[in-house]
Amino acid sequence: MRRTSRKPDAAAETFGHPLSFPGDVWTCPDTGLVIQKDLLKNLAQRREIIAKCDASRETRLAVLEACRRSPKVWINLFGWTYVIIDQTAGGRRNSTAPARQPFVTWPVQDALIDAINDAQRSGASICITKSREMGASWVELALDMHACLFIKHSNILIGSRKEDAVDDGSPDSLFWKLDFLYENLPAWMQPSRERIRLAMGFPGLGTRIDGESCNADFGRGGRRTKIAIDEAAAVDILRQIDNSTSDTTVCRVFVSTPKTGSYFGKLVRSGKWRVFRMHWFDHPGKGVGRTLIKDPDTGEMKFTAPWYRAEVASRVDPQNIAENLDVDDEGGSGSVFDNRTLNTQRVTYAKKPTLTGDVALPKGARFDPDTPPEDRPVHLAEFKEGLRGRLRWWGELIEQNGIMRPPPRPVAVGVDVSMGVGGSDSVAVFVDAETGWMLGRWSSNMVMPGDFADTLYLIGSWIAGPRRELPYLCLEINGPGRATLMRLQRLGYSNLHNVVDTSKPGRPVVSYGWTSTRPAKRAMLESFRTALARAEFKCTDAEILEQAAGYVHYEDGGVGPIDSAGLTEEQAGQHGDMVIAGMLAHHAAVHIPAEDLVEPEPIYGSFGDRAKRRKKRRLRRDDPVGADLDTDDD
């Protein structure tokens, strides 16, 4: 057997970002420059580079080009920040001296730089939701300054909840930070600047930054290359600003610590904006000694560290802890899934898929669903990377009879079915029923219910191989799901979730699949929420977690995605397909028949198969009467 990816049940629990760089250095992939990340070594590197630039115009031009190509290089070699309070691992806040420090970015800040730049290149908007004192505002403003220095015709608008927070001459205001960044540059890196209150321009480059308070007319005065708002959750009219700026720029960056009930929280949960989260445990000082523990009272997994414990002990208000420490953007008790649970899942289990593609038969082989099962060549089904990209796979694959397929494990499948006409997706989620690790997700909005059944049968056959039972499958049978169920039954897919009703006289009634009702849906989602909190379901798919963040309780008693409030529950369900499929996968894993959990026969010729046959030979030799003589040694 040949392994091609990690075992899903052996994956180490990880945090979102490391606290430091290996060897305290970072190599820029765009320029090849090696940047010192140790503060004292970084200072020495800056002095050396500036001295060489002062002495050589050629060196100066080369450094300017490197800074143009990489904002990280520019920030880490020429950016300065203003730090008043330093955080220690024990939870103490110490005043720093000096307050002016080289802007040496942390791993999480480097990831933020990449996220903002990628959003701007892609023409997307992004919410940055964060714990306090993570340096997000400094990073965003440094990127604005970099754009003005190195990207001609940059035209940026920045704002905050009130005008004084934008530009009042104090270190807390946005323009004071921009001034600080500019004034600490070497003279040869300072282009001619025009500076008035709430504005900064560079006429020779055709670039400028304007500032406004977040008023009803914010952003209406012309087109911008980027619009950024600091502490967006505190802006009462953010909904109005969201609407008014959507056609003003291709990229909006809203930065904030969460605030209960804010429109910013709704944007974070909407699934329509990109989201970047900055947690306290990714802070190089606060995250020292960080660990993941299980709450002895609730069984839920949560993060802790000496700094965090000291902070919790000193704060009285749970909402203060939730918003300023835990990045809790639930917006109140209306959320179905606890935000801390989703954050834990994101940074511990969510990863990029190992493979993206689809399951298909080899060229020339055909799957005719109307032929008897024994005549279908489904045992030849194999994973083909890149093919339509509908199946994302996180699990392990091993070679079995020349085909790469999952190892023998009990697999459960949850299925949510759409009409397949371009609206919501049909989704199937695959999970290891014993370990709770999510293995894969298939999704498409252009596959009809009957064809979806054929796809499920083919993927199930690929997972099962020629010697195993098909995965245990549970699907919602409301609406188009019934057509998928009937097709699966016609195909002979026998390993379907079912409920046997013996309450009535006569023959027991067997019901296949799961029927969604308001009470049943609430109960199932609550069970799924608990499974995520206790890590009984380990969600490797960040998209499912983002969709779960948007699930809320409606005022009429229903449950569904926040952007579907006001629709019928059936309509709303069409927008929460991934969560429903994950929920059903967990339900199937819990109710998988006991015989599916029995260790399967090892694959012929594998190490396990040879070991089993050796054991049988020893048993016959030691106890020829009592040994199991049923063998296939030869």
pLDDT computed for residue 601 by the predictor: 55
Q: What does the pLDDT read at residue 620?
A: 55
Beta strands 398-400 and 391-393, pairing class: unpaired
Answer with the residue of higher pLDDT: 385 or 466.
385
pLDDT computed for residue 318 by the predictor: 73
Q: What percent of the chain has pLDDT over 70?
A: 85
Higher pLDDT, 211 or 373: 211
Position 418 confidence tier, pLDDT thresholds 50, 70, 90:
very high
Q: State the Cα–Cα distance between residues 119 and 113, nearest whole angstrom.
A: 10
* The residue to which tokens 């009470």 are assigned: 519
Question: For position 457, what pLDDT does the model report?
Answer: 93
Q: How confident is the model at residue 5 (pLDDT cuts 50, 70, 90)?
A: very low
Pairing, β 403-405 against β 398-400: antiparallel
DSSP state of 603: P
pLDDT at residue 8 in the model: 40
Q: Are 241 and 229 in contact (CB under 8 A)?
A: yes
Please compute the mean of the pLDDT values over residues 256-275 and round it to a whole number.
Answer: 87
What is the arithmetic mean of pLDDT over 264-284?
90
Residue 449 pLDDT level (bands cut at 50, 70, 90): very high
- Average of per-residue pLDDT across 138-159: 97
Asked if the model's pLDDT at residue 417 lies above 50, the reply is yes
Residues 427/456, Cβ–Cβ less than 8 Å: no
Give the pLDDT score at 93: 64
The amino acid at 455: T
Looking at residue 629, what is its pLDDT?
36
Q: Kindly state the percentage of the chain with pLDDT values over 90.
A: 58
Whole-number CA gyration radius for the chain: 29
At residue 415, does pLDDT exceed 80?
Answer: yes
Grade residue 627 by pLDDT with cuts at 50, 70 and 90. very low
The stretch 485-512 carries a mean pLDDT of 86
More confident residue, 145 or 550: 145
The continuous run of DSSP H or E covering 15 comes out as none
Nearest to 580 by CA among 481, 489, 499, 439: 481
**pLDDT reported for residue 15:** 63
**Is residue 189 very low, low, confident or very high in pLDDT (cuts 50, 70, 90)?**
very high
Distance from C-alpha of 548 to C-alpha of 394, rounded to nearest angstrom: 19
Burial (0-12, 13-18, 19+ Cβ within 10 Å), 209: buried
Quote the pLDDT of residue 10. 34
Q: Under DSSP, is residue 474 helix (H, G, I), strand (E, B) or coil? A: strand
Q: What is the mean pLDDT of the chain?
A: 86
**Which pLDDT value is given to residue 180?**
97
Predicted confidence at residue 459, as pLDDT, reads: 95
- Pairing status of strand 252-256 against strand 226-230: parallel
Question: In the beta sheet, which residues pair with residue 384?
Answer: 358
Q: 303, 302, 254, 246: which is closest to 275 by C-alpha?
A: 254
pLDDT in tens, 301-348: 888 999 888 888 888 777 777 777 888 755 444 678 888 888 889 989
Q: What pLDDT is attached to residue 4?
A: 44
pLDDT band, residue 7 (cuts 50/70/90): very low
What does the H/E/C string look like for 27-55? Answer: ECCCCCCEEECCHHHHHHHHHHHHHHHHH
Distance CA 633, CA 91 (A): 65
pLDDT of residue 299: 76
Range of weakest confidence among 217-221, 407-411, 560-564, 615-619: 615-619
Residue 622's pLDDT band (cuts 50, 70, 90)? low
Of 343, 544, 534, 363, the C-alpha closest to 438 is: 544
Measured distance CA(623)–CA(618) in Å, rounded: 8
Average pLDDT over residues 111-120: 96
State the amino acid at position 341 in one-letter form. T
pLDDT value, residue 183? 97
Residue 14 confidence (pLDDT): 54
Report, as an integer, the average pLDDT of 161-170: 93
